[in-house]
Amino acid sequence: MKILVINAGSSSLKYQLYDMTDESVLAKGLVERIGMDSSILTHKPTGKEEVTEVSDILEHTTAMRKVLEKLVDKTHGVLNSIDEIDAVGHRVVHGGEAFKSSALITGEVKSEIRRLFDLAPLHNPPSMMGISAAEANLPNVPHTVVFDTAFHQTMPEKAYLYAIPKVLYKKHKVRRYGFHGTSHAYVSKTAAEFLQRPIEDLKIITCHIGNGASLTAVKDGISVDTSMGMTPLEGLIMGTRSGDLDPAIVPYVMNKEELTMNEVNSMLNKHSGLLAISGSSSDMRDITDGWEAGKPNETLAFEMYEYRLRKYIGAYAAAMNGVDVIVFTAGVGENSAIVREAVCQNLTYLGVEIDKELNKVRSGDPRRISTPNSKVEVLVVPTNEELMIARDTLRIVQESKG
């Protein structure tokens, strides 16, 4: 079965085509600057040369049509006909409480995703555009949705409720949802497979640290707590997001600086985090370079980032009454030996001991960086949200066929 995975943003559309007989990637690519001048389509067929095409693509349906043209192109294509695509899997950020797992797209499912626009105004509307665009171009195949929030729907009430009037939960669904669920699910499962141990017997802390960053406590294979909240702003210090702060700061700053709701939201999401502390960059590579060069602002940014991350690891070890495995993933987690070492060298009280040489090894495969003596297995597991979406899509399509 061939499955096309779609991840649509407001001006972008990412795609990846899988042959699920061996889970190989046939092609992948990206359309950027949709709705702007000079949109760019980058198409990477496996085993063939990458192509880039610049044209004006005004909306997602045209972007999708261009992608399909590339997939069947005589020179750059990987399919003889688009009829070879058996199903399409879509990434949607927010599934609210309605979606506890991935789902086959129906009219009712689309209405529910629209009802969730309020909760995820930046993320769900573009996902809907991606779904409409793909359905218009591929009307005869099943489409599925895989939600970033679904994996965290197993959290107990004590972890997902905020200590504020309950009416806000009842009326407005104010609660912790958590994000990056597809990634946390994928890396925790892959970690258990790597260790050849049943996931049901493990207490795992998954650290998805990229531009956005979140930690999850995975106990017996399910998410029991996660650091992002009702929105992706809560928790760790991120590239441009503040993570946790005293909520009273928000009205205080709004009052002092005469900021609107949008302005304060933008300040906390786009102008905070590593970028704000360093004053120079949101990219961890620049921060660690600055830290190594002894630059004070970058050093402070690095120390605050590592400290917050370490505190959350401690919190989740406490939440689960122990930890067997710590997994690092995403841009920083997979690539920054410096961040991993800095965090782990302060977790000796948990019995964490990493091998500094193993920690420096670069590889695209899951790997162990802890020593044989370490009481906690520390792994680096490259995330693969697209593969997880393709696997879920395959399962749903097979189940729907009975």
Question: Which positions are catalytic?
Answer: 148
> Does residue 335 have a known ligand-binding role?
yes
The correct pick among 227, 336, 359, 393 for binding ligand ADP (CB under 6 A) is 336
Q: How far is the CB of 212 from ligand ADP (least distance, A)?
A: 4
138 binds ligand ADP (CB under 6 A): no
**Only segment of 26-34, 71-79, 210-218, 291-299 that touches ligand ADP (CB under 6 A):** 210-218
Residue 7 touches ligand ADP, criterion: CB under 6 A: no
Tell me 392's DSSP state.
H
Segment contacting ligand ADP (CB under 6 A): 51-59, 252-260, 325-333, 366-374?
325-333
In one-letter notation, the amino acid at residue 347 is: L
Q: How far is CA 303 from the centre of its chain?
A: 24
Minimum distance of ligand ADP from residue 295's CB (angstroms)? 16
Binding mask 228-257 for ligand ADP (x = CB under 6 A): -----------x------------------
Location of structure tokens 């441009």? 240
DSSP code at position 117: G
> Could you tell me the smallest distance in angstroms from the CB atom of residue 283 to ligand ADP?
4
Give the residue with the Cβ less far from ligand ADP, 135 or 298: 298
Is the Cβ of residue 89 or residue 331 nearer to ligand ADP in the bound state?
331
> Near ligand ADP by CB under 6 A, which window of 6-14, 70-78, 85-93, 278-286?
278-286
Q: Which three-class secondary structure string do you get for 308-375?
A: HHHHHHHHHHHHCCCCCEEEEEHHHHHHCHHHHHHHHCCCHHHCCCECHHHHHCCCCCCEECECCCCC
Query: CA geometry: angle at 387 spanning 382 and 390, to 5°?
Result: 165
Do 160 and 90 form a contact (C-beta atoms < 8 A)?
no
Query: Known binder of ligand: residue 391?
Result: no
Nearest alpha carbon to residue 208 among 159, 246, 152, 153: 152
Query: Among 166, 169, 15, 143, which Cα is nearest to 78's?
Result: 15
Angle at 215 between CA 210 and CA 216, to 5 degrees: 135
Q: Looking at 7-15, 17-25, 44-52, 279-287, which segment touches ligand ADP (CB under 6 A)?
A: 279-287
Return left, alpha or beta for 378; rule: phi > 0 is left, psi -120 to 50 is alpha, else beta. beta
Confirm or deny that 84 is annotated as ligand binding: no
Q: Does 181 engage in binding with ligand ADP (CB under 6 A)?
A: no
268: number of Cβ within 10 Å: 21
The verdict on whether residue 246 carries a ligand-binding annotation is: no
Q: Does 335 bind ligand ADP (CB under 6 A)?
A: yes
**Is position 333 annotated in a ligand binding site?**
yes
362 assigned binding-site residue: no
- Residues in the interface with ligand ADP (CB under 6 A) total 13
User: Using CA atoms, how far apart are residues 386 and 6, in angstroms rounded to an integer?
Assistant: 8
Minimum CB distance to ligand ADP, residue 183 (Å):
9
Q: Which residue is closest to ligand ADP by CB?
A: 331
> Per rule CB under 6 A, is residue 299 in the interface with ligand ADP?
no
Residue (336 or 384) nearer to ligand ADP, CB = 336
User: Is 32 among the annotated ligand-binding positions?
Assistant: no
In eight-state DSSP terms, residue 394 is H
**346 phi/psi in degrees, rounded to 5:** -105, 15
> Pick from 185, 207, 284, 389: which binds ligand ADP (CB under 6 A)?
284
One of 4, 64, 207, 332 touching ligand ADP (CB under 6 A) = 332
Cβ–Cβ < 8 Å for 214, 179: yes
Which two three-digit tokens encode residue 76?
């750059």
User: Per DSSP, what are the bridge partners of residue 326?
Assistant: 205, 378
> Counting contacts by CB under 6 A, is residue 330 touching ligand ADP?
yes
CA distance 264 to 257: 10
Radius of gyration of the chain (CA): 22
Q: Looking at 114, 115, 285, 375, which residue binds ligand ADP (CB under 6 A)?
A: 285
Q: Does 211 bind ligand ADP (CB under 6 A)?
A: yes
Tell me the CB-side half-sphere exposure of residue 272, using CA atoms within 13 A: 20
Q: Using CB under 6 A, which of 77, 89, 210, 235 touches ligand ADP?
A: 210
Closest alpha carbon to 322 in 311, 310, 313, 331: 313
Question: Which residues are known binding-site members?
Answer: 7, 14, 91, 208-212, 283-285, 331-335, 385
Question: Which residues form the interface with ligand ADP (CB under 6 A)?
Answer: 210-212, 239, 283-285, 288, 330-332, 335-336
Question: Which residues are known binding-site members for ATP?
Answer: 14, 208-212, 283-285, 331-335
Question: Which residues are known binding-site members for substrate?
Answer: 91
